[in-house]
Amino acid sequence: MRLKILLLTFESTKEFKGNGTSIRGFFGKKFSEYTQLHHHLDNKLKYQYPLVQYKMIDGKPIVVGINKGAQVLKEISDKFDTITLDYNKYEIVERNMTMKNEEFGLSDKIHFYEFATPWLALSQKKYHEFFNTKSNDKKVDILRRVLIGNLISMSKTLNYTVPDIIRCDVDMERRKEKFEDMNFTSFCGGFMVNFCIPDYLGIGKSVSKGYGTVRKWYGPPDMY
């Protein structure tokens, strides 16, 4: 299937300081009438794959809209002249909006991706399973299964039924990540999979706040 993807980026007169959480906070408060921007309904968090996602990559804010989320971003893209991140105000001097129709879903080819932001892969159950095994092969297998589960869960929200088996391999390094005053185990690196994922979509936990952002990897395939 194909997804409508909108990428919104902007430039300021000074260097941005913040993260996906602070970008989400700005848009969610300023445009609170749009559920897609803050992912709450009747003051309760909607637990499904978010159609608007906020990233800070290489010091630049990126807001991603998917399908209905793309339409919302298009509507509000010119309705702010400043953005406030962590109490710092930035004047917007340039904004860029790119709309594409991107392929999504199972593929007959193997595609290579890298994580542009840390992947929060492990639920509490998977965390204990991962750290209770001493076998590196089993740890890698856990991450493979989590990755496949992430793609299936993401597909359900996007109304895509995966028609066959997802095959993947991962090349990851473990690292520590602080999130909402708690320490989490995250992963950086890349993976290969027979699945098309548009650039800058997130997988895993907290993707609305910028975690787990993937983009195509064009390096040598022997990285695996």
Same domain, 117 and 202: yes
Q: What is the CATH number of the domain that holds 202?
A: 3.30.70.1900
Q: Looking at 62, 77, 101, which one is the last position of a domain?
A: 101
- Distances in Å between the Cα of 42 and the Cα atoms of 28, 32, 39, 46 are 14, 12, 10, 10
Q: What is the pTM of this model?
A: 0.90
Range of the domain at 7: 2-101
* Average predicted confidence (pLDDT) for the chain: 91
pLDDT one-digit tens code per residue, 107-122? 999 999 999 999 999 9
Tell me the C-alpha distance between 120 and 208, whole Å.
Answer: 12
And the tokens for 198? Answer: 């548009």
Same domain, 70 and 151: no
pLDDT one-digit tens code per residue, 123-153? 888 888 999 999 999 999 999 999 999 999 9
Q: What is the pLDDT of residue 222?
A: 53
Q: Looking at 83, 101, 119, which one is the last position of a domain?
A: 101
Instruction: Give mean pLDDT, residues 182-203.
Output: 94
Q: What is the pLDDT of residue 6?
A: 97
Same domain, 128 and 87: no
Same domain, 87 and 163: no
Strands 52-57 and 60-66: antiparallel
Q: What is the pLDDT of residue 38?
A: 76
219 contacts 63 by C-beta, under 8 angstroms:
no
And the tokens for 33? Answer: 């009438």
Domain total of the chain: 2
pLDDT one-digit tens code per residue, 28-56? 999 999 888 876 555 555 568 999 999 99
Unique residue bearing structure tokens 């856990």: 142
Q: How far is CA 19 from the centre of its chain?
A: 13
Q: What is the pLDDT of residue 224?
A: 47
How confident is residue 198, by pLDDT bands cut at 50, 70 and 90? very high
- Whether the pLDDT of residue 191 is over 80: the answer is yes
How confident is residue 202, by pLDDT bands cut at 50, 70 and 90? very high
Q: What is the pLDDT of residue 125?
A: 87
Instruction: Give mean pLDDT, residues 72-84.
Output: 94
